[in-house]
Amino acid sequence: MFTRGGVVAAAVVAPVFLALFHHFFYTQHLYSWGSADWSHAYFVPLISLYILWQQRHEIARQVPRTCWAGLLAVLLSVVCYVFFMAGVPNHMGQGLSVLLCLFGVVLLLAGPDVTRVAFLPIAYLGLGVTISEKIMIIITFPLQLLATQGAFVLLNVIGVSTVAKGNLLEVIKSNGDVIPLNVAEACSGMRMVIAFIALGAAVALVGVRHWWQRMALLMLAMPVALVMNIFRVAVLAIASLQDRNLAAGEAHMWIGMALLAIAFVFYMGLVWVLNRVVVDDQTPASGPVKKAAPAGPPKVATPATAAPAVGVRGGGAGSWRPGAMGALATVVVVLGASAGALGLAVGALGLHLRKLPIQAAENRQVRSIPTQTPTWEQVGQDEVMSAEVLEELGTRNYLSRSYRERERADGKPRRRLELHLAYYTGMIDTVPHVPERCMTGAGWTLVSSPVRMPLNLDSSGWLALPDAPEGSQGQYFTARTHNEFSDAPGIRVVLPRNPGEIEMLVSAFELPGRDVRLYGGYFFIANGGHVGTAEGVRQLAFKLEDDYAYYLKVQVSSIEVADKDELVALSSSLIGELLPEISRCVPDWVKVKRGEYPADNPRRGSGAAK
């Protein structure tokens, strides 16, 4: 691997390897660039190469040979990569397929002895693969609760009066003022844990020799990061007593980085302790060092005991190791042919692996929907989210607004609904925020499992669109905007496909310690259709045959309804009256499929624009 032949083999294999997996590497770059969560991915390959370089003498002692079993791993990796690209799109699955292919190539060209030594550096590359959003959600929420509860205990122990409500800390000043501190995903410990484990794993592989020392360091990496994150939240809470701005923005970031540095110093202290627990024979712990006996004449290796040459070349000078040329040619042919076949298939089938961002006509934002409808009116002002919450939300095109009934026939108090809209486009195979996650994170307890419930929208003014684009999976309808409330009165707007089949996923929540119950439901408008679950967004908005990807979350909640049925009935009224205006805030998918919108639509002027 570290000979001229090894360098030549790497130089020959690398271009076809990158050609086959270029979509994964480009997507990983998009995940990592400018992201505090995954920016460490750029350094993982460099650390892996350094670990491999440190193992060069051990690798040189191994006997390289061709192992055709590695070809099976290469072929399996190609199949898995295509499956996770076109079958069930998943970036994490693609990344694991890339690692499997790299493992197979090394096994095929260098044999099991070399692969055994190179296994850990190859496996370390997995820390540079972005974890699937669904797994992140499962991990992140418990970390949020742990950081909140840990900081709550610590603050009260040191005399800072604090109340914990889910992921919300309320720091009480001496004068009785309450300062809320939301432990959002940025403070959940996920960023610190992932980056710190990557750094801790590198230290474990380089800084100690014995397997049990490495395992100890790997197991300690997460607890160290989580404990320091509890201190981080506590420090932010104390800082907010002096100035609320210290718990946000750049100050928030610098405090986190300082505590990360302290955690690393502590971690290196653990490395020092572990290295002192066991004393290797080569490095006596104490006592005088005995003078070594004079070295005799150097021994010359006989042909029977001489170590074989390392790398692709072996045996006699200038000759190729038997089978090496055939294995190298096989790898190049398999990877090159796979890359070419995949490219041809993508082109012939009209697939689009990279989704283009798209906005509504004239870049219309969701906050532009009317504040009044025939039976509903706005209450108060639209909520303006902080920079940290916006970073958590992942978009600036959002609306959080309260609506109240304009009148109620039975004379009872008018009921109130909270409407939340959030528009996303050009995202990379992600899953959006949903109430089951966000409401519990804000301190509410989920008391009933989500239930799909159909909306009963008024369809009296809908007209079927007779000439829907080819391939549309459902019927398009148009509806007219209200003359007295819209800024574009009386125009007809294309609604999502089959609007009469829209369903909400409805859940119930309770606030601990208070007799309050909240009902919340949501659905998504995505790529001209609608879907009731976050997982369904992945299948609808990221279809390979579509050039663009967008989705709009429509969420309604209330604490003034008696049950889920009442929430759905009121939501049907509000959404039914707002649906034409909401549809103006997303792209007209009929025009998109025809190639008429946007101006740079790849379908414009092509045969695909039908």
* pLDDT tens string 333-365: 999 999 999 888 877 666 666 778 899 999 999
Listed residues 247, 276, 305: the one ending a domain: 276
- Say whether both 433 and 332 belong to one domain: no
- Report the pLDDT value the prediction gives residue 174, as an integer from 0 to 100: 75
**287-321 as b/e: b if 16+ CB within 10 A:** eeeeeeeeeeeeeeeeeeeeeebbbbbbeeeeebb
Most confident of 74-78, 155-159, 161-165, 248-252: 74-78
Flag whether 401 is in a domain.
yes
Listed residues 276, 306, 335: the one ending a domain: 276
Of 489, 484, 519, the closest CA to residue 504 belongs to 519
What does the pLDDT average to over 125-130?
Answer: 89
Of 326, 303, 280, the closest CA to residue 70 belongs to 326
Q: How open is the CA angle 126-131-136, to the nearest 5 degrees?
A: 145
**8-33 as b/e: b if 16+ CB within 10 A:** ebeeebeebbeebbebbeebbebbbe
- Say whether both 378 and 519 belong to one domain: yes
- Report the pLDDT value the prediction gives residue 342, as an integer from 0 to 100: 87
| Least confident among 150-154, 217-221, 427-431 | 427-431
Flag whether 307 is in a domain.
no
- Say whether both 44 and 110 belong to one domain: yes
Flag whether 316 is in a domain.
no
- Report the pLDDT value the prediction gives residue 293, as an integer from 0 to 100: 47
- For residue 455, the one-letter residue type is L
In angstroms, the CA 161 to CA 170 distance is: 8
Measured between alpha carbons, how far apart are the two ends of the chain, in Å? 54
Work out how many domains the chain is built from and give that number: 3
Strands of 316-415 (E only): list them. 376-379, 398-405
pLDDT category of residue 240 using cuts at 50, 70 and 90 = confident
The phi and psi torsions of 69 (rounded to 5 degrees) equal -65, -25
pLDDT higher than threshold 80 for residue 575: yes
What does the pLDDT average to over 546-556?
Answer: 90
- Say whether both 333 and 366 belong to one domain: no
Higher pLDDT, 191 or 275: 275
| Least confident among 315-324, 425-434, 581-590 | 315-324
Flag whether 471 is in a domain.
yes
Of 240, 127, 119, the closest CA to residue 177 belongs to 240
pLDDT category of residue 249 using cuts at 50, 70 and 90 = low
Flag whether 416 is in a domain.
yes
User: Sign of dihedral through CA atoms 526, 529, 533, 535?
Assistant: negative
- Say whether both 547 and 515 belong to one domain: yes
pLDDT higher than threshold 50 for residue 84: yes
Domain holding 369, by residue range, is 361-594
Mean pLDDT of the chain: 81
- Report the pLDDT value the prediction gives residue 562, as an integer from 0 to 100: 92
What does the pLDDT average to over 220-229?
Answer: 80
pTM of this prediction exceeds 0.85? no
Flag whether 607 is in a domain.
no
Higher pLDDT, 131 or 45: 45
Listed residues 236, 258, 276: the one ending a domain: 276
Higher pLDDT, 147 or 316: 147
Flag whether 89 is in a domain.
yes
Count CB neighbours of 515 within 10 A.
6
In angstroms, the CA 493 to CA 478 distance is: 5
Higher pLDDT, 218 or 188: 218
pLDDT category of residue 16 using cuts at 50, 70 and 90 = very high
What does the pLDDT average to over 523-550?
Answer: 84
- Say whether both 583 and 449 belong to one domain: yes
pLDDT higher than threshold 60 for residue 122: yes
Flag whether 163 is in a domain.
yes
Q: Is 182 left (phi over 0), alpha (psi -120 to 50) or beta?
A: beta
- Say whether both 231 and 126 belong to one domain: no
pLDDT higher than threshold 70 for residue 18: yes
- Say whether both 146 and 126 belong to one domain: no
- Say whether both 137 and 30 belong to one domain: no
- Say whether both 119 and 139 belong to one domain: no
C-alpha 287: how far from its chain's center?
Answer: 54
Q: How open is the CA angle 140-146-147, to the nearest 5 degrees?
A: 90
pLDDT category of residue 540 using cuts at 50, 70 and 90 = confident
Proportion of the chain above pLDDT 90, given as a percent: 35
pLDDT category of residue 192 using cuts at 50, 70 and 90 = low
- Report the pLDDT value the prediction gives residue 103, as an integer from 0 to 100: 95
**Alpha-helical regions (H) of 128-189:** 133-157
In angstroms, the CA 244 to CA 464 distance is: 54
Higher pLDDT, 604 or 369: 369
Of 507, 513, 562, the closest CA to residue 532 belongs to 507
In angstroms, the CA 200 to CA 394 distance is: 29
- Say whether both 389 and 515 belong to one domain: yes
Count CB neighbours of 46 within 10 A.
10
- Say whether both 369 and 512 belong to one domain: yes
pLDDT higher than threshold 60 for residue 308: no
For residue 517, the 8-state DSSP code is: E
* Cα→Cα distances 29→22, 32, 40, Å: 11, 5, 11
pLDDT higher than threshold 80 for residue 3: no
